[in-house]
Structure 1
């Protein structure tokens, strides 16, 4: 018997850098390290509905030979793979596990009682934050545990941290490039501060894969960039800490209220870079406000601008948080985070 079958968005043969693909691959890699590659079956859901018949055939085979079935579906996929797994499992009685990516599931289930019932049949549902666990508990689901997002990164030592910074302070974003990640908010804030002070207080570098459906939007946004704002392209996941360590501050101005544990914040912690972030739903599960970062009211560009300007008057307030970020990063290393899954397999 195989230890587990993982059904998720691997995107084999493609360089996909979205959170769903990254988390699916990260968890699967840790399972292979623990049990051996030959004990883990992988089924790739990339390709959508047209490949579903072939995926279903693979699932029947995987159920027959696997002790555990682990799924990673997002919004559309959960409506397909939860009932599919429950139906197939009538014949095989395997342990069903659902690892949730992001923080959207509680609101998604509110008016979907059949899907909620289907998830109640799973052995365990793994969510990223305590906020999500409490929200799902209120919906009547009691098979919930926390599996923090994690990354296989090298955490800097304190001796590698910079201790002095001069104007212009280098800040960056490090996420998918799309409207919903608040890119325009931080661009607006930096331009406003620099114009007001008639000086380059900040430079802003934007990293990340541009959303395929928003390329035209971003091309228009780039045309408005002054010389102190740049798009720097995509960074390989194993180089993220190396790139981020050169920055004064990471800005995470997301407008996705249901973010879970953003990988970009974990990268920043490992690089000893504090975070200025909008307060999304699970903000306080991830950012220790005033300790590893600073939060501002969700979607409030004026608040973002005001706090960013205040930081420029007192950069030591950020510098003193750097060692605290390194300490925080240790909560998100694979061997710590993966335990809650391993003990249930």
Structure 2
């Protein structure tokens, strides 16, 4: 009998860099480190509807052979795997866990109210933020646990931090590229600040996988990029610290109000980068305001411009946050997160 089985979007054989895939791979690797690879079984949900029969068959096999069964589903996956887990557990009586990716589950239940009863059958629903924990507990859930997002990243030492910056200040983004992540809003804001100054105050390097439904729009957008804005392609998450460490700051202009703990912010902290971010719902769970980053009003482009103008006048304010970011990064280590999970539940 294996110790744990994990259902998630592994995308074996594909180079996928979205947050869901990265999280499930990191958790799987750390469970293998802690328990041994022979004690961990994985079920890949990559492939869409045509692979659903195989996914169901593999999940049944997992329940037969694993003491603990967990799932990291996306939006549609919740509708498939929550009923499936509930049904199978009537026969196999395993400990079951829903590891939530992002912060959308509470609002999702407004549409799929019938899911609530089934979700309460999990041994634990592990959410990333206190905002989401509180929201679900208001619905009557008694099985909510706080389990932060995590990443295994190289530790940058304080002596390797860059503390000296001059204009133009090099900004970056490091997440999935799509309209909803606010990339167009950020480009507008940087162009506006530079135009107002009559010189290049900020440059912007954009890293990340372009969302498939946004590829053509982004290609058109790139045609009008000024010289100080560049798309730098995708970078594997284990190369993030090396890629980001010399930047002035990372910007996270998300338009998704229900973000959980974005992996890109963990990347930034590990590289010693303060974060300039919109104040999404769980902002305070991730960013210590004026300590590891600076926030602006959610969805307000003018507020973003104001923040960039303020930082331009006092760049030392952000530079002084860099050591705080390295400290904060330690809170998101997989060893700490998975080790604590095993100690509590296994």
Q: Match of 2:250? A: 250
| Contact 2:171–2:203 (Cα < 8 Å) also in 1 | yes
Offset at residue 341 of structure 1 (A): 2.1
The answer to whether residue 46 in structure 2 is matched with residue 31 in structure 1 is no
User: Which residue number in structure 2 is paired with residue 277 of structure 1?
Assistant: 277
**CA spacing shift, 1:299–1:139, aligned 2, 3 Å:** same
Preserved CA contact (<8 Å) 1:2 1:40: yes
1:79 is matched with 79
- Alignment-derived partner of residue 114 in structure 2: 114
Is 1:344 aligned with 2:308? Answer: no
Residue 327 of structure 2 is matched in structure 1 by 327
Partner of 1:174: 174
Moved over 3 A (4+): none
State the SS of the aligned residue for 1:281.
coil
Q: 1:218-297 to 2 correspondence within 5 Å? A: 218-297=218-297
How many pairs does the alignment contain?
345
Cα deviation, residue 155, structure 1: 2.1
The residue aligned with 1:132 is: 132
8 Å CA contact retained: 1:147, 1:340:
no
Distance 1:280 1:179 in 2: 16
- For residues 57-76 of structure 1, the aligned pairs below 5 Å read 57-76=57-76
CA distance in 1, matches of 2:111, 2:265: 32
| 2:34–2:339 CA contact under 8 A, matched in 1 | no
Alpha-carbon distance in 1 for matches of 2:274, 2:91: 50
Query: 1 CA distance for matches of 2:285 and 2:58?
Result: 37
Aligned to 1:44: 44
Cα displacement string for residues 250-307 of structure 1 (whole angstroms, at most 9, x for unaligned residues): 0000001111001110011011110000000100000001110000000100000111
User: Structure 1 residue 336: deviation in Å?
Assistant: 1.6
Cα shift readout 1:203-248 (whole Å, capped 9, x = no counterpart): 1111101111110110111112100100000112111001111100
Q: 3-state SS of the aligned residue for 1:17? A: coil
- TM-score, L = length of structure 1: 0.98
Counterpart position of 1:98: 98
Unaligned runs of 5+ in 2: none
The answer to whether 1:299 aligns with 2:299 is: yes
Partner-residue secondary structure (3-state), 2:14: coil
- Structure 2 partner of 1:55: 55
Task: Provide TM-score, normalisation by structure 2.
Answer: 0.98
| C-alpha RMSD of matched pairs (Å) | 0.9
Residues 132-170 of structure 1, C-alpha deviation per residue, up to 9 Å, x if partnerless? 100100111110101100100112111001111010000
Structure 1 position 74, deviation (Å): 1.1
Aligned partners of 1:172 and 1:205 also within 8 Å: yes
Q: How many Å separate the matches in 2 of 1:61 and 1:315? A: 56
Q: Give the match for residue 207 of structure 2.
A: 207
**1:114: how far off?**
2.1
For 2:34 and 2:340, locate their aligned partners in 1 and report how far apart those are by CA, in whole Å: 13
SS of the residue 2:24 aligns to: helix
